[in-house]
Amino acid sequence: MKNNLKIAILITLVTTVLFGVIYPLAVTALAQVLFPTQANGSLIQKNGQVLGSQLLGQAFSALGYFHSRPSSAGTGYDASQSSPSNLGPTNHQLVDRVKTDVGKLQAENPSVPVPVDLVTSSGSGLDPEVSPAAAEFQIPRVARERGISEADIRSLVAKHTLARQFGVLGEPRVRILELNLDLDATHPKK
């Protein structure tokens, strides 16, 4: 019995050190060497200042910027509160919010149908991307507010549009933070 107890304690200690210390440190070191950008959160920096992450959405409310999907994560894009709203399609709070958002967007661009991702949040509430249709919908407003041509804006949108992964997975999408940063760099607000 005493021998079995010694073996059990020894195996517990060895596996704890091996799988609780050595393995996580090895995986972390390997990630830092092979994928340093991803291992550090895919941060976007400018002049040493972190502006955001490629993986997390941010709120943009000024008219001269492309707007992200609505967020239900905390007070909006709060990574510690990542979750869907859990409101069903017949919930009056969701229906009222969507109707209000659709009304605002239709006033902005009256003759164009509103893309669904501009009025609904993603499952995490942190989606950093919108569909190309949602970006296209916003082009007239951004061009008008910045005083530049829609063609110039369209070329920036095309530059920041990601294709399907491996040509088959997912849908094309536009990264909003990177697009807005590029917009500020190439066509500053007047």
Q: Are 172 and 132 in contact (CB under 8 A)?
A: yes
DSSP bridge pairs for 50: 45
CA distance linking residue 174 with residue 159, whole number of Å: 9
- Residue 190 confidence (pLDDT): 65
pLDDT band at 28 (very low <50, low <70, confident <90, very high): very high
Higher pLDDT pick, 143 / 73 = 143
Global confidence as pTM: 0.76
Q: Which of 138, 139, 173 is nearest to 153 (CA)?
A: 139
Higher pLDDT pick, 151 / 94 = 151
- Alpha carbon of residue 136 to chain centroid: 18
- Residue 188 confidence (pLDDT): 80
- Residue 75 confidence (pLDDT): 66
